[in-house]
C-alpha cells in the first residue's frame, strides 16, 4: 500500500487536522498526532486540485484525510449516524486513504463562507441546500467545481468531503501501516 504524507511544505496546503484536537464533533482528540496521508491515487488528484485552486487564487485547508480504521470505530461509537459517517463494518473511504475533507482559503488566509462548519451533521451541510446564503452556495459550487475538475467524486451530504470514484475497491487500513502512529 502506498500512503503518501501530505504536509504544508510539500503540498502548499494548510493542515487543520480536526480529529487531533478537541474541535470536532466528539469534543475530544481522536488522533494523538495530526498527520495527513492519502493513497497515492488520491494524492495525485489532490495535486491537480491544488493547481486548479491556485489559478483562482485559493488554497486548501485540510480537516481530515486518511483515517485509521480504529478512529472510524471511535467516531461511529460516538455518533452512529450513517447520514454522515460510514459504518466501519463496511469501511469508510477515509480508512482507505481515498477521501479528504477540506475547504477553500482566500489569499488573505480566510476560509470561504460555506454556510456551516466542518462536520456540521445537519441538512444545511448538504450540497444544494437553499437554507444557506447565496454566497455560501456559490463557494460550495466553486469548491465542487475545483475538486470534480481535478477528478474527485463528492458526497452529497457533506460540502467538505471528496473521495475517489469507486473508493471501496481499495482495502481499509489500520494505524499499524503508518510510519508514525496517529492513534494514542
Q: How far apart are CA 38 and CA 65, in angstroms?
A: 6
Determine contact, residues 135/113, Cβ cutoff 8 Å: yes
- Per residue, what are the HEC states of 102-148? EEEECCCCCECCCCCCCCCCCHHHCCCCCCCCHHHHHHHHHHHHHHH
CA-to-CA separations, 64 to 8, 56, 128, 130, 134, in angstroms, rounded: 14, 23, 23, 26, 26
Instruction: For residue 158, indicate whether it is catalytic.
Output: yes
| Other CB atoms within 10 Å distance of the CB of residue 181 | 13
Q: Which residues are catalytic?
A: 158
Amino acid at each position: 500500500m502506498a500512503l503518501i504524507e501530505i504536509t504544508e511544505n510539500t503540498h502548499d496546503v494548510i493542515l487543520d487536522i480536526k480529529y487531533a484536537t478537541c474541535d470536532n464533533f466528539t469534543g475530544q482528540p481522536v488522533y494523538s498526532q495530526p498527520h495527513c496521508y492519502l493513497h497515492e491515487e488520491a494524492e495525485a488528484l489532490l495535486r491537480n486540485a491544488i493547481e486548479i485552486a491556485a489559478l483562482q487564487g485559493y488554497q486548501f485547508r485540510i480537516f481530515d484525510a486518511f483515517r485509521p480504521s480504529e478512529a472510524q470505530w471511535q467516531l461511529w461509537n460516538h455518533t452512529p449516524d450513517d447520514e454522515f459517517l460510514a459504518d466501519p463494518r463496511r469501511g469508510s473511504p477515509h480508512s482507505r486513504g481515498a477521501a479528504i475533507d477540506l475547504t477553500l482559503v482566500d489569499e488573505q488566509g480566510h476560509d470561504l463562507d460555506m454556510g456551516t462548519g466542518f462536520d456540521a451533521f445537519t441538512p444545511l451541510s448538504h450540497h444544494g441546500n437553499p437554507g444557506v446564503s447565496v454566497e455560501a452556495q456559490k463557494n460550495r459550487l466553486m469548491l465542487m467545481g475545483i475538486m470534480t475538475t481535478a477528478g474527485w467524486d463528492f458526497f452529497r451530504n457533506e460540502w467538505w468531503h471528496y473521495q475517489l470514484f469507486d473508493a471501496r475497491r481499495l482495502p481499509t487500513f489500520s494505524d499499524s501501516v503508518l510510519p508514525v502512529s496517529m492513534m494514542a
